[in-house]
Structures are given as structure tokens and as C-alpha cells.
Homo-oligomer: A and B are copies of this chain.
Amino acid sequence: MLEELKQQVYAANMRLPKLGLVTFTWGNVSGIDRARGLFVIKPSGVGYDVLTPEDMVVVDLKGDVVEGRLNPSSDTLTHMVLYNSFPHIGGIVHAHSPWAVSFAQAGVDIEAMGTTHADTFYGDVPVTDALTQEEIESAYEENTGKVIVKTFAERGLEPDAVPAVLVKQHGPFAWGPTAGKAVETAKILEVVAEMNYHALQLTRADIRVPQYLLDKHYYRKHGANAYYGQKSK
């Protein structure tokens, strides 16, 4: 079942090592079929060199495996919470990419400091609160999803406009309309984190961009008035 989606999610997973986002098996991508309420995700701990489309695992929105001979990613329930809470997203990536993890460990938001950021993220990429002891000891992966949702709610962020987050002491999750787009966003997050890190070491000034630059660059690429790229026919 869902053979086309499996193929897409497989291809999206395979881009992670090519884009330098994973060491060993430290990453996973999923994609959802919203009509059926099922998502497809990488199996846990399987190397990218041996992964096949058939290895992908099908999971429902309660987190139960519907098809697949392998265990799904240990982060499956985090993906589930995000799919249930963010109704427009079609794909999710988690990866221990080094620059984004550094910010997650430091507990420092990736602030919007330039157009590279504003082209993809309509504002700062937030760091969540740390999970409490109780949240970690019970339903850890589900609580990881919940702390992301809580962060977006508390800060009044729109997940379609800010398609990534840093889970404190852990690392990034990124998402998008498809698994493939989510992977591109994860790469952009990594590059933006690298640029921000170096900018922060160069100056102690507040170098966040103003709202009107965010507006200009974000809407140059997104929405009805976007004019970057080629018009789809």
C-alpha cells in the first residue's frame, strides 16, 4: 500500500546523507497521505546504504504500525503528534545536523538575521522548553511532539510560515507540504544556523532584520504575489 508515497519518502530519506545532514542513521523523514490518515516513515536504525523503498513503515495517526516488517523510527510518535496538530504539513524531517543541534543545545533561537532566513522562515526559528523529568520518563517521543506544539501556540507561530523548530537539548525538526520539501527546509535551516553562528561571533549588536524585510523576502517566494522562480503552468 501507498507505494508511491513510500517511494517519495524513501527518496527524501536518501537526500539526508547527500545534503550532509546526517551522521550514520541519525535522521528520519516521513510523509503523509492525508486522505487515508496514514503516514510513511523510515525504519529505525537502518543504514542509508542498505535502505530500500520497501523498508518504509506505514503508521496511522494513533501511532500504530499498519504495514511493514521493520520497527518504525523511534521518533515516530513525535511525527504523529505533529501531523495531528499541524493539519497542513505533508512531510517531516528530524536530523542531528551539527549547526542546528548546536543552537538546540545552547538554547538559542535561530533569529532572522537576513534574507537567506527570510526567504524560508517568516520569523525566528524557536527553541522549545526543555522537557521535564516526567515528560521524559513517560511517553517521551509523544511529549517531544507536544512541546513543539506548545511552543508554537505560546509564541503565536504559524507552522506553515515557520516550518522548523529546535527541540532543546536535542535537535531540529523541519516540515513542509511534502517529504521532499521538508528535507530542503532542513538543509536551509542548517545553512542559516551556520550563517547566524558566525554573524553572532562577529558582533554583539542586535542584528535581527526588521519586519518589513521579512515581509518582502518571505512573500517574494510564498503566496499569491510571489515572483521568485518560474510560474507553474
- Which residues in A have some Cβ–Cβ distance to B below 8 Å? 23-26, 43-46, 70-71, 74, 96, 98-99, 101-108, 113-116, 130-131, 133, 136-137, 140, 169-171, 184, 187-188, 191, 194-203, 205, 207, 209-210, 212-213, 216, 220, 227-231
Contacts and interface: CB of A to CB of B under 8 A. Distances in A.
B198 A102 contact: yes
Nearest to A191: B23
Given A116-B26, A187-B24, A213-B169, A195 B74 contact: no
Task: Give the number of copies in the complex.
Answer: 4
A96 B99 CA distance: 17
Contact of A114 (B171, B184, B197): B171
A228 B73 CA distance: 8
9 contacts: A24-B184, A25-B229, A46-B230, A74-B220, A74-B227, A102-B199, A105-B207, A106-B199, A133-B210
A229 B45 contact: yes
Contacts of A74: 220, 227-229
B195 A101 contact: yes
Given A24-B187, A98-B194, 4 more contacts: A25-B229, A101-B116, A107-B205, A114-B171
A216 B137 CA distance: 7
A187 B25 CA distance: 13
Nearest to A24: B184
Contact of A230 (B70, B99, B136, B212): B70
B98 A198 contact: yes
- Choose among A96, A107, A114, A207 the residue with the greatest number of B CB atoms under 10 Å from its CB: A114
A209 to B, nearest CB: 5
Contacts of A194: 98, 102
B101 A114 contact: yes
Nearest to A144: B115
A162 to B, nearest CB: 18
